[in-house]
Amino acid sequence: MTDIIHEFIKTFRSETSQKDTEHVIFHGCWDWHSSVHGHWALLESAHLVKDKENLEWVTERLQSKNMEEELQYLREHPEFEMPYGRAWYLRLMMRLEQITGFGDYKCLVQEIALDLRKWIENSIRDPSISEYKNPSWALIQLHDWATHFEDSETVNWVIEKTKENFLKPKISMDLDREGKGEFFSLWGLQTYLIYTALGADELSKWLEDDYNLDVVKDLNTDHHLAINASRAWGFHCAYLATSEKKWKKAYDEHVQVSIDLHPVWKYDRRAYAHWVPQFTLYSMLMGN
Protein backbone atom coordinates (compact mmCIF):
# COMPACT_ATOMS: atom_id res chain seq x y z
CA MET A 1 0.00 0.00 0.00
CA THR A 2 2.89 2.38 0.71
CA ASP A 3 3.91 2.58 -2.96
CA ILE A 4 0.48 3.69 -4.16
CA ILE A 5 0.20 6.20 -1.32
CA HIS A 6 3.45 7.81 -2.47
CA GLU A 7 2.10 7.91 -6.02
CA PHE A 8 -1.11 9.50 -4.78
CA ILE A 9 0.89 12.11 -2.85
CA LYS A 10 2.51 13.30 -6.07
CA THR A 11 -0.93 13.83 -7.56
CA PHE A 12 -2.37 15.48 -4.44
CA ARG A 13 0.54 17.92 -4.18
CA SER A 14 0.42 18.78 -7.86
CA GLU A 15 -3.33 19.32 -7.87
CA THR A 16 -3.55 21.39 -4.69
CA SER A 17 -0.77 23.62 -6.06
CA GLN A 18 -2.71 24.56 -9.18
CA LYS A 19 -4.27 28.01 -9.66
CA ASP A 20 -7.70 27.05 -10.89
CA THR A 21 -9.76 29.52 -8.83
CA GLU A 22 -9.26 32.79 -6.94
CA HIS A 23 -9.55 31.30 -3.44
CA VAL A 24 -6.57 31.98 -1.20
CA ILE A 25 -6.03 28.39 -0.02
CA PHE A 26 -8.44 26.15 -1.91
CA HIS A 27 -7.53 27.29 -5.41
CA GLY A 28 -6.35 24.02 -6.98
CA CYS A 29 -7.99 20.75 -7.97
CA TRP A 30 -10.29 22.45 -10.50
CA ASP A 31 -12.87 23.67 -7.92
CA TRP A 32 -13.24 24.59 -4.24
CA HIS A 33 -14.69 21.33 -2.92
CA SER A 34 -12.13 19.21 -4.74
CA SER A 35 -9.37 21.40 -3.37
CA VAL A 36 -10.73 20.92 0.14
CA HIS A 37 -10.67 17.15 -0.17
CA GLY A 38 -7.37 17.41 -2.02
CA HIS A 39 -5.86 19.09 1.04
CA TRP A 40 -7.50 16.47 3.24
CA ALA A 41 -5.99 13.70 1.10
CA LEU A 42 -2.51 15.21 1.17
CA LEU A 43 -2.74 15.69 4.95
CA GLU A 44 -3.87 12.11 5.53
CA SER A 45 -1.47 10.45 3.14
CA ALA A 46 1.60 12.44 4.19
CA HIS A 47 0.80 11.70 7.82
CA LEU A 48 0.29 8.00 7.07
CA VAL A 49 3.67 7.47 5.37
CA LYS A 50 5.54 10.06 7.47
CA ASP A 51 6.27 12.31 4.50
CA LYS A 52 7.57 15.27 6.51
CA GLU A 53 7.99 17.67 3.58
CA ASN A 54 4.45 17.34 2.29
CA LEU A 55 2.94 17.21 5.76
CA GLU A 56 4.63 20.50 6.64
CA TRP A 57 3.59 22.06 3.33
CA VAL A 58 -0.09 21.24 3.75
CA THR A 59 -0.31 21.99 7.47
CA GLU A 60 1.32 25.39 7.01
CA ARG A 61 -1.34 26.26 4.45
CA LEU A 62 -4.19 25.08 6.65
CA GLN A 63 -2.86 26.86 9.75
CA SER A 64 -2.21 30.17 8.00
CA LYS A 65 -4.13 33.41 8.45
CA ASN A 66 -5.52 32.84 4.95
CA MET A 67 -7.91 30.33 6.51
CA GLU A 68 -9.76 33.25 8.10
CA GLU A 69 -10.44 34.57 4.60
CA GLU A 70 -11.77 31.19 3.48
CA LEU A 71 -14.06 31.06 6.52
CA GLN A 72 -15.24 34.61 5.91
CA TYR A 73 -16.11 33.70 2.32
CA LEU A 74 -18.29 30.85 3.59
CA ARG A 75 -20.07 33.20 5.98
CA GLU A 76 -20.72 35.75 3.26
CA HIS A 77 -21.95 33.15 0.73
CA PRO A 78 -24.31 30.92 2.76
CA GLU A 79 -25.34 28.71 -0.17
CA PHE A 80 -21.80 28.18 -1.45
CA GLU A 81 -20.83 24.49 -1.42
CA MET A 82 -23.91 23.46 0.58
CA PRO A 83 -23.83 20.74 1.66
CA TYR A 84 -21.11 18.76 -0.13
CA GLY A 85 -18.04 20.97 0.04
CA ARG A 86 -18.78 22.13 3.57
CA ALA A 87 -19.10 18.55 4.75
CA TRP A 88 -15.63 17.83 3.34
CA TYR A 89 -14.37 20.99 5.05
CA LEU A 90 -15.49 19.63 8.43
CA ARG A 91 -13.61 16.39 7.75
CA LEU A 92 -10.48 18.32 6.78
CA MET A 93 -10.43 20.58 9.83
CA MET A 94 -11.24 17.74 12.20
CA ARG A 95 -8.33 15.68 10.92
CA LEU A 96 -6.01 18.70 10.98
CA GLU A 97 -6.55 19.04 14.71
CA GLN A 98 -6.37 15.30 15.36
CA ILE A 99 -3.09 14.96 13.47
CA THR A 100 -1.34 18.19 14.47
CA GLY A 101 -3.15 19.47 17.56
CA PHE A 102 -3.87 22.78 15.80
CA GLY A 103 -7.31 24.03 16.79
CA ASP A 104 -7.11 27.81 16.45
CA TYR A 105 -10.07 27.91 14.06
CA LYS A 106 -12.11 25.29 15.86
CA CYS A 107 -14.88 27.59 17.07
CA LEU A 108 -15.13 29.25 13.66
CA VAL A 109 -15.43 25.83 12.02
CA GLN A 110 -18.20 24.99 14.50
CA GLU A 111 -20.16 27.91 13.05
CA ILE A 112 -19.85 26.28 9.63
CA ALA A 113 -21.05 23.01 11.13
CA LEU A 114 -24.12 24.64 12.65
CA ASP A 115 -24.89 26.36 9.34
CA LEU A 116 -24.70 22.95 7.67
CA ARG A 117 -27.05 21.50 10.26
CA LYS A 118 -29.52 24.32 9.65
CA TRP A 119 -29.34 23.73 5.90
CA ILE A 120 -30.08 20.02 6.35
CA GLU A 121 -32.94 20.80 8.74
CA ASN A 122 -34.57 23.04 6.14
CA SER A 123 -33.96 20.73 3.17
CA ILE A 124 -35.44 17.48 1.91
CA ARG A 125 -33.88 14.61 3.83
CA ASP A 126 -33.90 11.66 1.46
CA PRO A 127 -31.08 9.11 0.88
CA SER A 128 -31.94 8.94 -2.83
CA ILE A 129 -30.85 12.53 -3.56
CA SER A 130 -27.91 12.37 -5.91
CA GLU A 131 -24.34 13.65 -5.82
CA TYR A 132 -23.58 17.09 -4.40
CA LYS A 133 -26.89 17.59 -2.59
CA ASN A 134 -26.92 14.14 -1.00
CA PRO A 135 -27.72 14.62 2.71
CA SER A 136 -26.30 11.26 3.85
CA TRP A 137 -22.76 12.42 3.14
CA ALA A 138 -23.36 15.70 4.96
CA LEU A 139 -24.82 13.95 8.00
CA ILE A 140 -21.88 11.54 8.24
CA GLN A 141 -19.38 14.38 8.31
CA LEU A 142 -21.52 16.52 10.62
CA HIS A 143 -21.78 13.60 13.06
CA ASP A 144 -18.02 13.07 13.09
CA TRP A 145 -17.27 16.77 13.50
CA ALA A 146 -19.83 17.15 16.30
CA THR A 147 -18.36 14.14 18.08
CA HIS A 148 -14.92 15.70 17.78
CA PHE A 149 -16.20 19.09 18.98
CA GLU A 150 -18.10 17.40 21.83
CA ASP A 151 -21.35 18.90 20.58
CA SER A 152 -23.59 16.14 21.96
CA GLU A 153 -26.75 18.01 21.00
CA THR A 154 -25.82 17.93 17.32
CA VAL A 155 -24.70 14.29 17.56
CA ASN A 156 -28.13 13.41 18.98
CA TRP A 157 -29.80 15.47 16.27
CA VAL A 158 -27.99 13.49 13.56
CA ILE A 159 -29.05 10.23 15.23
CA GLU A 160 -32.67 11.40 15.37
CA LYS A 161 -32.74 12.49 11.72
CA THR A 162 -31.11 9.26 10.61
CA LYS A 163 -33.79 7.23 12.38
CA GLU A 164 -36.57 9.40 10.98
CA ASN A 165 -35.44 9.79 7.38
CA PHE A 166 -32.63 7.43 6.37
CA LEU A 167 -33.61 3.88 7.25
CA LYS A 168 -36.01 3.97 4.33
CA PRO A 169 -36.49 3.99 1.49
CA LYS A 170 -33.76 1.40 1.11
CA ILE A 171 -31.59 2.40 -1.82
CA SER A 172 -30.97 -0.35 -4.34
CA MET A 173 -27.31 -1.22 -4.76
CA ASP A 174 -28.06 -1.88 -8.43
CA LEU A 175 -28.38 1.86 -9.03
CA ASP A 176 -24.58 1.95 -8.97
CA ARG A 177 -24.51 0.16 -12.33
CA GLU A 178 -26.89 2.44 -14.18
CA GLY A 179 -25.99 4.74 -17.03
CA LYS A 180 -26.50 7.92 -15.02
CA GLY A 181 -22.98 7.41 -13.70
CA GLU A 182 -22.96 8.98 -10.23
CA PHE A 183 -19.75 9.43 -8.24
CA PHE A 184 -21.49 8.39 -5.02
CA SER A 185 -22.87 4.96 -4.35
CA LEU A 186 -26.16 6.02 -2.77
CA TRP A 187 -26.43 2.57 -1.18
CA GLY A 188 -22.88 2.93 0.14
CA LEU A 189 -23.66 6.31 1.68
CA GLN A 190 -26.88 5.12 3.29
CA THR A 191 -25.05 2.14 4.76
CA TYR A 192 -22.19 4.34 5.99
CA LEU A 193 -24.59 6.80 7.62
CA ILE A 194 -26.60 4.10 9.41
CA TYR A 195 -23.43 2.56 10.79
CA THR A 196 -22.02 5.96 11.82
CA ALA A 197 -25.13 7.30 13.50
CA LEU A 198 -27.00 4.20 14.68
CA GLY A 199 -24.31 1.56 15.09
CA ALA A 200 -23.57 -2.02 14.12
CA ASP A 201 -26.76 -3.65 15.42
CA GLU A 202 -29.05 -1.31 13.50
CA LEU A 203 -27.03 -1.74 10.31
CA SER A 204 -27.01 -5.54 10.68
CA LYS A 205 -30.80 -5.53 10.86
CA TRP A 206 -31.08 -3.17 7.90
CA LEU A 207 -28.84 -5.13 5.52
CA GLU A 208 -30.30 -7.68 3.12
CA ASP A 209 -28.94 -10.97 1.75
CA ASP A 210 -29.33 -10.76 -2.04
CA TYR A 211 -26.94 -8.01 -3.11
CA ASN A 212 -24.75 -8.23 -6.19
CA LEU A 213 -21.35 -7.46 -4.66
CA ASP A 214 -19.34 -7.57 -7.90
CA VAL A 215 -17.33 -4.52 -8.86
CA VAL A 216 -18.86 -2.09 -11.34
CA LYS A 217 -16.97 -2.67 -14.57
CA ASP A 218 -18.89 -0.42 -16.97
CA LEU A 219 -17.90 3.12 -16.01
CA ASN A 220 -20.33 5.29 -17.92
CA THR A 221 -19.13 8.82 -17.19
CA ASP A 222 -16.15 10.63 -15.68
CA HIS A 223 -18.04 10.87 -12.39
CA HIS A 224 -18.54 7.12 -12.46
CA LEU A 225 -14.79 6.63 -12.03
CA ALA A 226 -15.27 6.90 -8.24
CA ILE A 227 -18.25 4.59 -7.91
CA ASN A 228 -16.28 1.54 -6.74
CA ALA A 229 -14.44 3.58 -4.11
CA SER A 230 -17.67 4.89 -2.61
CA ARG A 231 -19.25 1.42 -2.74
CA ALA A 232 -16.27 0.25 -0.68
CA TRP A 233 -17.25 2.66 2.12
CA GLY A 234 -20.54 0.80 2.54
CA PHE A 235 -18.93 -2.63 2.27
CA HIS A 236 -16.46 -1.81 5.00
CA CYS A 237 -19.24 -0.66 7.33
CA ALA A 238 -21.23 -3.81 6.56
CA TYR A 239 -18.19 -5.91 7.44
CA LEU A 240 -17.65 -4.05 10.72
CA ALA A 241 -21.31 -4.56 11.58
CA THR A 242 -21.57 -8.27 10.70
CA SER A 243 -18.02 -9.73 10.51
CA GLU A 244 -19.20 -11.58 7.39
CA LYS A 245 -16.31 -12.33 5.04
CA LYS A 246 -18.32 -11.56 1.91
CA TRP A 247 -18.30 -7.89 2.84
CA LYS A 248 -14.55 -7.86 3.44
CA LYS A 249 -13.96 -9.56 0.10
CA ALA A 250 -16.16 -7.03 -1.68
CA TYR A 251 -14.39 -4.16 0.08
CA ASP A 252 -10.94 -5.45 -0.90
CA GLU A 253 -11.96 -5.98 -4.53
CA HIS A 254 -13.51 -2.53 -4.86
CA VAL A 255 -10.51 -0.80 -3.32
CA GLN A 256 -8.15 -2.65 -5.65
CA VAL A 257 -10.02 -1.76 -8.86
CA SER A 258 -10.07 1.85 -7.68
CA ILE A 259 -6.30 1.78 -7.11
CA ASP A 260 -5.84 0.23 -10.55
CA LEU A 261 -7.31 3.34 -12.17
CA HIS A 262 -4.31 5.43 -11.19
CA PRO A 263 -1.64 4.38 -13.68
CA VAL A 264 -4.17 4.64 -16.51
CA TRP A 265 -5.79 7.95 -15.60
CA LYS A 266 -3.30 9.91 -13.50
CA TYR A 267 -2.43 12.44 -16.22
CA ASP A 268 -6.05 13.33 -16.93
CA ARG A 269 -6.70 16.28 -14.63
CA ARG A 270 -10.28 16.97 -15.63
CA ALA A 271 -11.69 13.45 -15.44
CA TYR A 272 -9.54 11.90 -12.74
CA ALA A 273 -6.52 13.49 -11.10
CA HIS A 274 -8.23 16.43 -9.40
CA TRP A 275 -10.61 14.24 -7.37
CA VAL A 276 -10.83 10.44 -7.93
CA PRO A 277 -7.68 9.33 -6.05
CA GLN A 278 -8.98 11.27 -3.06
CA PHE A 279 -12.07 9.04 -2.97
CA THR A 280 -9.86 5.97 -3.34
CA LEU A 281 -7.70 7.09 -0.42
CA TYR A 282 -10.82 7.54 1.71
CA SER A 283 -11.80 3.94 1.03
CA MET A 284 -8.28 2.69 1.77
CA LEU A 285 -8.10 4.52 5.08
CA MET A 286 -11.38 3.05 6.27
CA GLY A 287 -9.81 -0.40 6.26
CA ASN A 288 -6.39 0.65 7.51
Sign of CA dihedral 220, 251, 39, 195: positive
For residue 283, tell me if it sits in a domain: yes
Q: Residue 181 pLDDT more than 90?
A: no
Answer yes or no: is 226 within a domain: yes
In a domain, 3, yes or no: no
Q: Is 280 part of any domain?
A: yes
Would you say residue 89 lies in a domain?
Answer: no
Instruction: Please count the structural domains in the chain.
Output: 1
**Full residue range of the structural domain in which residue 238 is found:** 167-288
Specify if 117 maps to a domain.
no
Banded model confidence at residue 178, pLDDT cuts 50, 70, 90: confident
Q: Is residue 195 part of a domain?
A: yes
Residue 191 near residue 234 (C-beta atoms within 8 A): yes
* pLDDT value, residue 259: 98
At 229-262, the pLDDT tens digits run 999 999 999 999 999 999 999 999 999 999 999 9
Q: Tell me the helix, strand and coil percentages in the chain, rounded to 5.
A: 70, 0, 30
pLDDT for 180 equals: 82
Provide the mean pLDDT of the chain: 97
- The pTM assigned to this predicted structure is 0.98
Would residue 91 count as lying in a domain? no
